[in-house]
Chains A and B, each alone.
Chain A
Amino acid sequence: MSAPRGVFARVVQTEAKLAIREPVGIVWGFGMPVILVVIFGNIGPFADEIPGSGGMSVFDAYLPVLCVVALTMLALIGLPMPLATYRELGVLRRMATTPVSPARLLGAQVVLNLVVGAAAVVLVLGVGSMLGGQLPSRVPAFVLVLLLTAWALFALGLVVAAVARTSRAAAALGNVLFFPLAFFGGLWLPLPAMPQVLQGISSWIPTGAAVEAMNATVRGDAPPLVSLLLLLGYGAVFGAVAWRTFRWE
Chain B
Amino acid sequence: MPVVEVERLHKQYGDLVAVEDVGFEVAAGEIFGILGPNGAGKTTTVECVAGLRRPDAGRIDVLGLDPRRDASALHEVVGVQQQQGALPRKLRVGEALELYAAFYRGPADPMALADQLGLAPRWDAYYGTLSGGQRQRLSIALALVGSPRLAILDELTTGLDPAARRDTWGLIEQVRDGGVTVLLVTHAMEEAERLCDRVALIDAGRIVAVGTPAELAERHGGATHLRFVLEPGAADEVVAALAEVTSVSRDRDVLTVTGTGDVVVAVVLALDRLGLRPRGLTVASGTLDDAFLALTGHAFHEAEEVGRR
Contact = CB atoms under 8 A, between A and B. Distances in A.
A22 B82 contact: no
A4 B105 contact: yes
B90 to A, nearest CB: 4
A98 B52 contact: no
B297 interface: no
A155 to B, nearest CB: 24
Nearest to B78: A97
Contacts of B88: 18, 82, 85-86, 89, 91
Dominant SS among interface residues on chain B: loop
A87 B52 CA distance: 15
Contact of A14 (B85, B91, B105, B143): B91
A14 B95 contact: yes
A100 B99 CA distance: 11
A4 B78 CA distance: 17
Contacts of A97: 50, 52, 75, 78-80, 82, 143
Interface in A93-124: 93-100
A14 B105 CA distance: 19
A105 to B, nearest CB: 11
A6 interface: yes
B87 A3 contact: no
B102 A89 contact: no
B90 A21 contact: yes
B303 to A, nearest CB: 26
Contact of B104 (A4, A11, A93, A94): A4
B144 interface: no
A90 B85 contact: yes
B36 to A, nearest CB: 22
B84 interface: yes
A89 B72 CA distance: 23
Contact of A1 (B52, B73, B78): B73
Given A14-B99, A91-B86, A99 B75 contact: yes
A2 B73 CA distance: 9
A21 B91 CA distance: 9
A99 B85 CA distance: 17
B76 interface: yes
Contacts of A4: 102-105
A17 interface: yes
Contacts of A18: 88, 90-91
Given A22-B90, A90-B82, A90-B86, A98 B95 contact: no
B73 A93 contact: no
B84 A90 contact: yes
Interface residues of B, number: 27
B204 interface: no
B95 A17 contact: yes
Contacts of B202: none
A96 B102 contact: no
Contacts of A90: 82, 84-86
B225 to A, nearest CB: 41
A98 B75 CA distance: 5
Nearest to B106: A4
A10 interface: yes
Nearest to A22: B90
Given A86-B88, A89-B87, A7 B102 contact: yes
A93 B82 contact: yes
A93 B100 CA distance: 13
A115 B73 CA distance: 33
Contacts of A100: 103
A85 to B, nearest CB: 7
Contacts of B103: 3-4, 7, 95, 98-100
A18 B91 CA distance: 7
Give the residue among B82, B84, B87, B88 with the most A Cβ atoms within 10 A: B88
A11 B76 CA distance: 18
Contacts of A96: 52
A85 B89 CA distance: 11
A2 B76 CA distance: 10
Contacts of A21: 90
Contacts of B143: 97
B90 A94 contact: no
Interface string B58-97: 0000000000000011011011101011111011000100
Contacts of B99: 10-11, 14
B33 interface: no
27 contacts: A2-B72, A3-B103, A4-B102, A4-B104, A10-B102, A11-B99, A14-B91, A14-B95, A14-B99, A18-B88, A18-B90, A22-B90, A86-B88, A89-B85, A89-B88, A93-B82, A93-B85, A95-B103, A97-B50, A97-B52, A97-B75, A97-B79, A97-B82, A97-B143, A98-B100, A98-B146, A100-B103
Interface of A: 1-4, 6-7, 10-11, 14, 17-18, 21-22, 82, 85-86, 89-91, 93-100
